[in-house]
Structure 1
Amino acid sequence: MTRALLLLSLCFLMFTSHSTAQTYNPFYGDIVNTVSASNIVADLTTFESFGVKTNGSSALSNTQNWIVSRYQSLGYTTIEEQAFSFSGNTSHNIIITKTGSVYPNTFIVIDAHYDTINGPGTNDNGSGTVLLLEMARLLKNVDTEYSIKFIHFSGEEAGLIGSNYYVNTTVIPQNMDIALVFNIDQVGGVSGTINDTIICEYDTTAPIENNAESLAATNTLATCIGLYSNLGTELSNAYGSDYVPFENAGKVITGLYEKNETPHSHSPTDVLANMDPNYLYEVTKGSVGAALEFAIGISTLSAPETVPTEKKTLNSTPILQMD
């Protein structure tokens, strides 16, 4: 059997193995409806105020300290500032762990980079940074079956330095059990345009063994965006962001990227005035719904669940889409 035929067969098996289509979850919806547009704008404004966040700069350090203090103010206590060096400077990944109640040693990684080049990077990637902060606020007191790691990577703009370091020094040596990596990069939209669609990214590269799972997870992501936001979705291939080192290590990945790609990235004009905050608000809503789906949020009103002997699948019925 050829690799292409094997992949198609795997997708078909995944499609036929799920009999219940993913539907709107009122518990998730209630949480999604508390996403704060004013929080998003306030955090974007603060992120922008720190300036150009290049390796070794005080702007990057100030942004790091702000992110850490925000998680502390939300009540998170498991916060690691992972130092790594490149080009003669020290930078930090910020890793926040929320422990799951059923599978505490299996993780949903939700990440965004916070470094920038040539400008304040309010869209690239203040948008992803702020989205993670708002998501973490809403999920802090929500019981989830799977553990979540919110990770703010540095060194992305220099060539995925921070995420490569994390994968090579932590994920691989610890044989970390990662169910899914959900990457968020540049999702702030473009002012003055109609921003009504988000790109959902899936793995199309080697190693191919995880590609079918990535496609299924990305279809779940797209479904959640449709259920919990006003945005449409398109599927496209994943490339050039912090999920790549995880994918190279054989982990299942998915991600989000804006449909209308800003012309302002990597420039002094990557500022809030050139973004569409309402678009980011909708992306955040869909992302929160997806995070709850992936990590399996548990309502306190639900009947107690017997701890299963096997892990639940993270993916609902996938929509087959092959390039």
Structure 2
Amino acid sequence: MRFLNGKTLLLFAVMFCLQTTTAQTFIQAYADKANQCSQTNITTNLTEYEALGVKYRGTPALENAYQWLVNKYTSYGYTASQITTDSFSYSGSTCKNVVVTKVGTLYPDTYVIVCGHYDSITGTGTNDNGSGVVSILEIARLLQNVPTEYSIKFINFSGEEDGLRGSQHYVTNVVNATNPKMNIRLVFNIDEVGGIAGQVNNSITCERDTGTPTTNNALSSTMTQELMNCVSFYSPLTPVLSYAYASDYMPFEENNEIITGFFETNESPYPHTANDLLVNMDPVYNFNVAKAAVGATLHFAKANAAVLSEEVFATDYQISFYPNPTKGKLNINLGTLKQNNYTFSMMDIQGKEVYSDTIPNAKQIETIDVSRFSKGIYMGVLESEETRITKKIVIE
């Protein structure tokens, strides 16, 4: 939640008009997927979110909202291995970030982060930021079975209203604590996109990095221009250019990551009050923002348009072995397989088994050392009670 004055918005609207177009093009398959957004889902989820109450630290409402999110992602087909909790404590209370990971097909170790906070202060926060929450849920629902080159992390942060505590904790204790440091392609933040009831809500503010460090400001501007193009391609809304501040992308920005974001152009006066309610919002606007966000996420994560509507990606449970080719370490991605006890084996080109191991209670990603095997082509086989997946592995 933050404030822009009308003159600032006008300035950035003029700047938008002066922007040059890029080579980015409209993709019909992306539009078809964005058009699968559901107004019913948006309105129903806003109603459910509002009914949970004031989601402030230490309250049952915040814990209930956390569980509600987990249940939503589970209902969309995400597994327990894909849904993780990043917990942190402050002022005597424990808060939880919900993190859902969808592994990419070509760049599995590089992430597009789609995020927004789910906590509220004073009121139920149906706009700030239930509107962002339901948009992220709709993206996650529609992309669950869509192959993307880059991995995606859908993150619902807690503690935003107490000073971006959840996102700061995640950057410090997950992004920078990963060895090597987590490789982030882009952080796409969605905060307060519900509009104002009774007004003409036909534009969405797209936010770029103008702060310090300045190293990634040019890349943020490029990504934000691409976001604006996606708004025009995949929704009826008009994009308006602005700058990023005071939301969950800021700890990432300070960590020198590339950021962009959505924020409503007609800024509601109700956030942080008891009147931040669905009755004061425009759910159709929220729906149109979600459509734009779906198209943008498909673009940023590079969805394979050729197979966007095919079922191939679903039939192998999104299981993958990477990097492939590999020289030393091989990662086994569990995908959406619900049975997390499996056997992984490798056979050489003569059909001789050279490796086999049973992995109980497998994490989303398990890693094995294949450096001792000779260079060549092998067949990797993952077997569980649910399925048997076979894929070629090249050791260099």
- TM-score category of the 2 structures, normalised to the smaller one: 0.7 to 0.9
Matched, 1:216 2:218: no
- Given candidates 67, 82, 85, the residue that maps to 1:81 is 85
Structure 2 residue runs of 5 or longer lacking an equivalent are 1-18, 309-322, 326-396
The one-letter code sitting in structure 1 at the alignment partner of 2:130 is G
Q: Which runs of 4+ in 1 moved over 2 A?
A: 299-302
- Given candidates 265, 281, 284, the residue that maps to 1:259 is 265
Q: Distance in 2 between matches of 1:308 and 1:280?
A: 41
Which structure has the greater CA radius of gyration?
Answer: 2
Aligned to 1:5: none
Aligned to 2:35: 33
- Given candidates 172, 176, 179, the residue that maps to 2:182 is 176
Evaluate the alpha carbon distance shift between residue 194 and residue 308 of structure 1 in structure 2; reply closer, same or farther with a 3 A threshold.
Answer: farther
Aligned to 2:151: 147
Q: Distance in 1 between matches of 2:35 and 2:86?
A: 33
Instruction: Give a deviation string over 1:252-296, Cα, whole Å, max 9, x none.
Output: 000000001000000110000000011011100011000000000
Q: What is the 5 A alignment of 1:186-225?
A: 186-225=192-231
Q: What TM-score, normalized to structure 2?
A: 0.71
Post-superposition offset of 1:301: 4.2
- Given candidates 167, 184, 203, the residue that maps to 1:163 is 167
Q: What is the 5 A alignment of 1:87-126?
A: 87-126=91-130
Number of matched pairs: 291
Aligned to 1:248: 254
Post-superposition offset of 1:299: 3.0
Post-superposition offset of 1:180: 0.2
Aligned to 2:63: 61
Structure 1 residue runs of 5 or longer lacking an equivalent are 1-14, 310-323
Post-superposition offset of 1:172: 1.0
The one-letter code sitting in structure 2 at the alignment partner of 1:291 is T
Q: Between the two proteins, what is the percent identity of the paired residues?
A: 50
Evaluate the alpha carbon distance shift between residue 140 and residue 88 of structure 1 in structure 2; reply closer, same or farther with a 3 A threshold.
Answer: same
Q: What is the 5 A alignment of 1:285-296?
A: 285-296=291-302
The one-letter code sitting in structure 2 at the alignment partner of 1:192 is G
Q: Distance in 2 between matches of 1:246 and 1:26?
A: 32
Moved more, 70-79 or 237-246: 70-79
Post-superposition offset of 1:239: 0.1
Moved more, 37-46 or 292-301: 292-301
Evaluate the alpha carbon distance shift between residue 301 and residue 147 of structure 1 in structure 2; reply closer, same or farther with a 3 A threshold.
Answer: closer
Indicate the structure whose relative CO is greater, using CA pairs within 8 Å and at least 6 residues apart.
1
Moved more, 21-30 or 204-213: 21-30
Q: Distance in 2 between matches of 1:285 and 1:86?
A: 36
Q: Distance in 2 between matches of 1:72 and 1:287?
A: 21
Q: Distance in 2 between matches of 1:235 and 1:33?
A: 24
Q: As a proportion of its length, which structure holds more strand?
A: 2
The one-letter code sitting in structure 2 at the alignment partner of 1:185 is D
Q: Distance in 1 between matches of 2:196 and 2:324?
A: 45
The one-letter code sitting in structure 2 at the alignment partner of 1:46 is E
Aligned to 2:345: none
Post-superposition offset of 1:81: 1.2
Matched, 1:227 2:233: yes
Instruction: Give a deviation string over 1:141-195, Cα, whole Å, max 9, x none.
Output: 0000000000000000000000000000010121100000000000000001110
**Could you say what secondary structure the match of 1:209 adopts?**
coil
The one-letter code sitting in structure 2 at the alignment partner of 1:143 is P
Q: Distance in 2 between matches of 1:253 and 1:279?
A: 23
Aligned to 1:281: 287
**Could you say what secondary structure the match of 2:166 adopts?**
helix
